[in-house]
Structure formats: structure tokens, C-alpha cells
Amino acid sequence: MSVLSSRCFHCEEAAFEHLESIVWANGVTCPHCGSMSGKHYDLRKTRTGLRKCSDCRKQFTVKVGTVFESAHIPLNKMLQAVYLMCASKKGISAHQLHRVLGITYKSAWFLCHRIREAMRSGDLAPMGGNGGAVEVDETFIGREPGKEKKRAYHHKMKVLSLVDRETGKARSMVVDNLHPKTLVPILKENIDRESRIMTDEAGQYHHLKNDFADHAFTRHGAGEYVSMTDRTIHTNTIEGYFSIFKRGMKGVYQHCAKHHLHRYLAEFDFRYNNRSALGIEDGARHASALGGIIGKRLTYRSVNCP
Ligand SMILES: [Zn+2]
């Protein structure tokens, strides 16, 4: 049987039950007052998924207080979209979702952003530690708003990524420039001091030895991708991450405005951090994305007006 034949993708009631089993794993919880009384009124015969709190007497469904709140697309279609986005290594365009799901392009576009918001990790714990290696590198994409095309990367948007080699997880962010004054505070905030930092020879990473246990680099300019003296010195893991990100951004999304870029990064980080090589397959990745919908809201206005 095809995965997409699952009932939760075709029947709205089954979709609600599926989402409830993830969001309310510990029992039905009122999103208005937090009550888990277990005596909430079941109004599902009136409207799919509807309940009424026995304490604050307000009505709610499992969508309230999540990124799906006030979305008018049937929940089973939204679960299909989440699945497709989780299972497509380089992403899926809003145009394709619009055609496949039979919803308007505008709805599909906003749904994609809702899902990216669900994929956004709130993990602020420092990476590395205990002498573990963290690879740091930057990449360039698209066009910085208002900048003329010039040589090299000056007119492009800049993305800084970190990959913890022990856990295999990535964390990416948009940066305005590559000055050490901008980058070093970000690195100190996101990486444990007891880590070995791996970079290329770029000038902005000089002097990192002062802030971390060790800083080693390869000379890409000289064709050295793995150090000849110590084979653990390289940035090949992060280059692999950038390869997926750039193929997705160029091949699937094609264009991305700067004020949306952080959401695309959240999407690529999420899939990379929940990838098959770490033992996480499509189904588990889908459940993990649905677990991320809680406590996040997104309005069309807030997404569209930077
Ligand atoms: Zn309540």
C-alpha cells in the first residue's frame, strides 16, 4: 500500500485523530486555559475535531494555538503537504503543491510557510563541546536587496552554517556581512568553547583560536580539501549540506526574498537534522514536523510584510 493511501491523508476526521495523537499525546488539552480535566465536551458531531473546555467553557480544536490555526484548507490536505515537504530532499514548490492538492497557489504558498515555521527548531543549546569538531562555513545565494551586481559574492545574500560533526546536525542563519565583528559573536553564542572549529582559510575566521579550544583550517585556494597532516581537518560535511541547500534553492525554489530566507534555512536544516543517515525515515520526519506545530502562530500579514 502506498504511504499516501493512509486514511489520515484522505479523511478529515482521521486527519484530526492523527494530529490529536501527536499534539495531545498526554491527553486532550484546552489551548485557552491549559486544562487537561479529561471531561471536555465532545462536539465532534457538530464540527470535525470540535471540543469545548469543561473549565473555561471555550471551544477549541487541535489546530488552535498551532501554525494550522485559522487555515481553511482541509486538515487531511495539510497533512499531505507536510508529508511531501518532509519526504522531498530538496523541497517542493508552492506551485507543485497547488497543482497536486487542488488548492489555490496563494493558499499553497502560505501553507508552505506554515510548515517551515513548524520545522523551525527552537534549539539554542551550544553545539560541540568536549573537544568535538564543529564545521563552520558560509555560502552565497540570490541577490541582496538593493545591491548592484558586482564581482564575487558582494551582491549576494549570505548564509552562515554550522555543523556539529558528532551529532551530524546543522544550524544555519542569514547574516548581513562576513566581518569578524558580525560572525565571532554568533559563533560564540552557538558553539561550546571546548570545541575544535573547522573552517577554510577565509580571513574572517582568523583568531578563532582565542575563543575556542582549537581552530584548524584547510586551504581551499591551494586545492587542499582535507589536511595532509591531520585527516580530521576538513569542512566536507558542511559542503555536503550546502550542496543539498543550493540544489534545492536553485532547482525547486528558484527565487527567494531575503525576508523569507531564514524560513527556507529552517526547512533545509530540519530535513538535514532528521535525515535517513541519522536513522530518521519519512514517517518519523513527518511526525516530528507535526510535533513542531505547537505554540507557533503565523499570519499572512506577518509573513508578507517584513
Ligand atoms: Zn479551557
Distance between CA 83 and CA 51 in Å, rounded?
Answer: 26
Separation of CA 68 and ligand 1 centre (Å): 19
Mean pLDDT of 175-184: 93
* Per-residue pLDDT tens digits for 139-169: 999 888 888 887 778 889 999 999 999 999 9
Separation of CA 119 and ligand 1 centre (Å): 27
Separation of CA 51 and ligand 1 centre (Å): 10
Separation of CA 64 and ligand 1 centre (Å): 12
DSSP string, 202-238: -GGGTTGGGTSSEEEEE-GGGT-SB-SS-TT-B-HHH
* Residue percentage of the chain with pLDDT more than 90: 78
Separation of CA 59 and ligand 1 centre (Å): 8
Separation of CA 58 and ligand 1 centre (Å): 6
CATH class of the region 133-273: alpha beta
List own/partner pairs for 278-285 with CB under 8 A and 24 or more apart: 278/168, 282/3, 282/83, 282/86, 282/87, 283/3, 285/86, 285/87
DSSP string, 98-136: HHHHT--HHHHHHHHHHHHHHH-----SPB--TT-EEEE
Separation of CA 226 and ligand 1 centre (Å): 58
What does each C-alpha distance from 38 to 28, 32, 34, 51, 52 come to in angstroms?
Answer: 7, 15, 12, 11, 11
Separation of CA 167 and ligand 1 centre (Å): 39
Separation of CA 301 and ligand 1 centre (Å): 28
Question: Do the beta carbons of residue 255 and residue 264 sit within 8 Å?
Answer: no
More confident residue, 296 or 34: 34
Separation of CA 17 and ligand 1 centre (Å): 20
* Per-residue pLDDT tens digits for 19-53: 999 999 999 999 999 999 989 999 999 999 999 99
pLDDT value, residue 305 = 63
Separation of CA 247 and ligand 1 centre (Å): 46
Q: What is the pTM of this model?
A: 0.93
- Which residues make up the CATH 3.30.420.10 domain(s) of the chain? 133-273
> Where are the alpha helices (H) located in the chain, listed in sequence order?
12-23, 75-87, 94-101, 105-119, 180-190, 236-248, 258-273, 282-291, 300-304
pLDDT value, residue 306 = 57
* Per-residue pLDDT tens digits for 111-138: 999 999 999 988 889 999 999 999 999 9
More confident residue, 203 or 96: 96
